[in-house]
Amino acid sequence: MGVAERPWRRMRRNDVPAVDGLGGVVHPAFYERPEVFLDRLALFPEGALVCDAPDAAFGIAGYAIAYPAPLAAPPPLDTVLGRLPADADALYIHDVAVDPAFRGRGLSEGAVWRLVDLAEARFAAATLISIYGTPPFWRRFGFEQRPDLIDPEKLASYGGEAVFMLRPCGAQTSSLGPRT
């Protein structure tokens, strides 16, 4: 089976040590505690995915985490939420990470399209904060840069390269105008 065909499945609580291990390698400057992954998994299990890979350093080739959030107010990094905000109208893609040994072969597409399909079915938009110069990657899935929608202070903790991106989804688009 090619890398791109490897299946993604729902994350389970006992995957969190592997997710934490891979997250530490992929995001050394943006560490988030395992409690954060456990929190999102409990709050929105359909948005938490992993791709098994017994041959990978942590036993997974990648993970993805998404959950409902207010359109232009994703939560700060490393924050345990406890509950989802009542005014969540977007599916916020918090993180998609692929083990460096599995990159460049389309593996992440399976996870991203699954999350986009989820957003199309249930939300007005999918949003994310792009880091590491990844906007061209996200544009492939229909995301566009929308700096007009977000308070620049919310991006500060993500470093200078951080860019807010949005993909309109579903039928309710009334809240997609610029930030006032």
For residue 60, report the phi and psi dihedrals to the nearest 5 degrees: -130, 145
7 binds ligand COA (CB under 6 A): no
104 binds ligand COA (CB under 6 A): yes
127 binds ligand COA (CB under 6 A): no
Write each residue from 10 to 39 as x if it is in contact with ligand COA (CB under 6 A), else as -, in one continuous string: ----------------x-------------
Side chain identity at 103, as an amino acid letter? R
Distances (CA, A) of 15 to 23, 27, 136: 12, 18, 30
- Report how far residue 97's alpha carbon sits from residue 64's, in angstroms, rounded to the nearest whole number: 6
- Report how far residue 90's alpha carbon sits from residue 73's, in angstroms, rounded to the nearest whole number: 10
Answer for which of 131, 150, 155, 169 binds ligand COA (CB under 6 A) is 131
Answer for which of 105, 114, 139, 154 binds ligand COA (CB under 6 A) is 105
Q: Work out how close the CB of 63 gets to ligand COA at its nearest, in angstroms, rounded to a whole number.
A: 9
Answer for which of 98, 116, 124, 155 binds ligand COA (CB under 6 A) is 98
- Report how far residue 168's alpha carbon sits from residue 66's, in angstroms, rounded to the nearest whole number: 16
Taking 3-state DSSP, the helix, strand and coil percentages for the chain, each rounded to the nearest 5, stand at 35, 20, 40
Sheet containing 60-69, strands listed edge to edge, beginning at the edge strand earlier in sequence: 9-10, 48-52, 60-69, 90-98, 125-130, 163-168, 144-145
Q: Work out how close the CB of 177 gets to ligand COA at its nearest, in angstroms, rounded to a whole number.
A: 24
Output 134 or 175, the one with its CB closest to ligand COA: 134
Answer for which of 52, 57, 59, 103 binds ligand COA (CB under 6 A) is 103
Region from 8-16, 71-79, 116-124, 126-134 binding ligand COA, contact rule CB under 6 A:
126-134
- Report how far residue 7's alpha carbon sits from residue 24's, in angstroms, rounded to the nearest whole number: 23
Residues that bind ligand COA (CB under 6 A): 26, 96-98, 103-109, 128, 130-132, 134, 137
